[in-house]
Structure 1
Amino acid sequence: MVKLALLGESFPSQLRENPQALRDVQVVWSGTSIEAFRNEVPAMRPDVLALDFLELNAVQSDVVPALLENSRAKHAIVTYRFARRGVLQQYPAGKVRLLQGPISLSLLRAHVHLAVLDDVLKPQAAPVVEFPRMPPPPPPAPPPAPVSPIQMNAPGADTMATVTVPARPKPPRYTQEQLGTLLEYASSVKCECPNHLSQIVSSLQAFEEYSKQCENRNDADREVHGLLYRYTASARAVMEEALDALVKHENIPL
C-alpha cells in the first residue's frame, strides 16, 4: 500500500469528513505545520507527499526538493491556488506534480496512484526529429505609451464601474479548515453544491492575496490591482453569503 504524508491547512478536516476517500492509501501523517512535518515525517518513510500551498509564489524554490530529500519520498503532489508561470517552471517535472487546488481527496488519490505508476511506466526517449528552419520572428512591437491612473466613474474615463463595491472589503468568513470540510461533504441527494462552492470561495480568497502581491510598474498598475482586489473580495463576500444559506439549509456542522 502506498504511504502518503499530507501537509496543508485543509487536509486534516478533509480526512475527518471523508476518511474513505483514501481507502487504499496509507496516510502516515497529516497536519498543517511544516516544522512538525520536517521533524516527524522522515521516520514514517512515505512514498508520496501531498503539499498544499495557498501562496506558492511565497514558497522558496528549495522547500519542496528539501522535503522530498529529507523524507526520502519519491514523489510530491503540490497543490496551489494561483502562481506565476516562472514559479511553476522551477519544479522538476519528474518528481513533482503541480495541480491547481483546492482538490478533493478522491482526485488526490488518483494522482497519488498515477505518481507511483510513473515509476513503472517510465517513458522512453523520443527519437530526435529535425524540422526545417523557420524564418526569424518579426521584431517586437514598441511598448505602449504610459497611461494615467484609472479613475472609476470619472467623466470620459475609458473604464466605467457598473458594480458598486465597498472601499474596505469584509474579511473572509470561512477558514481553510471549514472549506476543507465542505469540500468533502457528501449530500444525501445528487447535489455537490457545497463541494463546488467551497472551491469557488477558496479560490476567490486566494486571488485576493495574489492580486496584492503583483508587481506594479506605475500608478495605473497599482490602481488596477487595487480594483481587482476590491472586486474579488466583494465577489467572495457574495459567494460566502450563498454558502451560508446552503450550509444552513443542509444543516452542515462546521
Structure 2
Amino acid sequence: MYKEDVVLIDAEQPFNGQTYRIGAVARLTGIPPDTLRVWERRYAVVEPIRSEAGTRLYSAQDVGRLTLIKRLVDNGDAISHIAALNLAQLQERSRGLDLIPAADADRPPCRVAVLGPTLPTLLTRDEAYVATLGEGVELAGAFEDEHRFHAAIADLRVDLLVLERPTLQLDRIAQITDLFTASGATRGLVVYGFAARAAVERLESQRIVTKRAPVDVAELARWCAALHGSEKTPTPEAILDGVDLGSPIPRRLYDSATLARIATGSPTVRCECPHHLVQLVSSLVAFEQYSRECENRNTDDAALHAFLHAATARARATMEAALARVVEAEGIDI
C-alpha cells in the first residue's frame, strides 16, 4: 500500500486494521473532504483516530457508516436527524434505497392501498401528508377496518398493498397472504411492531417485504417507489453501490483443506457441480487476497481496491453458501 493513501495501525493504537486518509474516504463515499470535516465537527458523525502527525485516519467501519449517511442525505434526510443513529439503525432506514428506479415520465404512478390501525389515519388526516408521498405514488385506499377493505379492494386496481400489523406470528401468515391475494397487488409490504423471526422469513420467502415500525410518510414513499420499480433488472452501478465497506468481511466457510475434500468426495449422484463450485470458490479466495494486497499508487487506487476486496468477499460468501447447499444435497462427507 502506498503510505500516503492507506496506513496500517500499530497494535498499541485503539484498534487494528486498514485505515484510509480523508482523500480516499471522499472517493469511496462521495462526501467532499470539506463537508466531511463539517459533519465531524458539528454532528460527530464519526470519530477518526489521529496519526502522530495529526492526520485523520478512518476505519472501514467509518467508511461504511459515512456511505449510509450519504445515501440517506441524498434521499432527503437531514444530516442533523440521522447523525446520531447507530449503524444498525442507518442500515434499516436505508433498506430499499438502491431499488428506487430512475424517473420515467411514461410510467403510471404506483397505486397503494394501506390496511392497519395507525398508518391509514396518518396518511389521510390532511392533504399535506398525502402530497408527501410524491408524484410517483397514488394513495388508492386507506383502511382501518378489514371488512371495508374486502368490500372495496376489488375496484381499486392496487399495485402495492401496505399491511400494518402490531405483531407477526407464524399462525397468522396464511391470513396475511390471503389479504395480499384479495388485493390483487403485485407487491406487498408488511410493517410490524414485533415479530417472530420465522414469521418474517416465511413472508420474505413469498416475496413480501417486511419493515419494522415506525415508518414515517417520507420513508413509506421511498418504499412505495422502490417496490414499484423493483422488477427492473438492477444496473451494474446499483449492484456495486450495494457493496457495504462498513460490514465485516465475511469469514470463510471452508478452508483450503476442506475444499479439497469436497472436490474429491463421492457424491450420491453423478454430478460435477461440487468440483466446479470448489474451483469458483478457490478462485475468488485467491482474488480476494490479491485485491487486498495489491499495490496502491494513489487515492483512486486505494478506493478501487477497497471496493474490489469487499465485492469479491461478498461473491465468495455467496458461492460458499451455494456450495454448502450442494454438499448437503449430495451427501458429501467433509
Highest Rg: 1 or 2?
A: 2
TM-score by length of 2: 0.36
